[in-house]
């Protein structure tokens, strides 16, 4: 019985000692940048014809660091070609933003799946991207 009491006391001491050791300690690293978020991406028409203008609407935010630009790229064969870039001179990390882009479907996209890529860039040059694919039919 005495051994059981001793074991119980030792276990209690270990539990209390370990709880004192596991204090809230600030991490010993520094955040060097943050990635923004493209929360939603929609197109006014996902099956346009050549010559039609499609409006893309994005909801974006960057809560840890200012966003500096938002790019619209056309994807082809795995490579991106920049179509338009919006630059931000002021940014509120507490807010989300709704941005729109317009794109007129070119002749060379007829009968194909056209992928548009949107890239959000933060002040430390970290990026996040989101794609949308349009199924393009022939001319009007």
Q: Along the 140 residues of the chain, how does pLDDT read in single tens digits?
A: 667 777 877 776 766 665 555 555 666 656 566 889 999 999 999 999 999 999 999 999 999 899 999 999 999 988 999 999 999 999 999 999 999 999 999 999 999 999 999 999 999 999 999 999 999 997 54
Query: For residue 115, which of 78, 84, 140 has the smallest C-alpha distance?
Result: 78
Count helices and strands in the chain by DSSP H and E runs: 1, 7
Query: With contact defined as beta carbons under 8 Å apart, do 60 and 96 qualify?
Result: yes
Query: For residue 73, which of 65, 82, 64, 86 has the smallest C-alpha distance?
Result: 82
Domain boundaries, the chain: 37-135
Fold of 37-135: Immunoglobulin-like (2.60.40)
How confident is the model at residue 8, as a pLDDT? 75
Q: Where does the chain show beta strands of DSSP type E?
A: 37-43, 53-61, 67-76, 79-87, 97-104, 113-122, 127-135
- Tokens representing 17 are 């000692």
- Tokens representing 110 are 């007829």
How confident is the model at residue 95, as a pLDDT? 92
């Amino acid at each position: 019985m005495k051994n059981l009491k001793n074991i119980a006391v030792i276990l209690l001491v270990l539990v209390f000692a370990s709880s004192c050791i596991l204090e809230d300690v600030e991490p010993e690293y520094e955040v060097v940048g943050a990635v923004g978020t493209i929360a939603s991406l929609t197109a006014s028409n996902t099956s346009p014809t050549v010559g039609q203008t499609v409006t893309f609407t994005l909801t974006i935010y960057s809560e840890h660091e200012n966003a500096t630009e938002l790019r619209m790229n056309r994807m082809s064969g795995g490579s991106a070609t920049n179509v338009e870039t919006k630059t931000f001179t002021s940014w509120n990390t507490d807010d989300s933003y709704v941005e729109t882009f317009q794109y007129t479907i070119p002749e060379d996209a007829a009968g194909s799946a056209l992928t548009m890529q949107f890239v959000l860039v933060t002040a430390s040059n970290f990026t996040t991207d989101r794609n949308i694919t349009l199924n393009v039919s022939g001319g009007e």
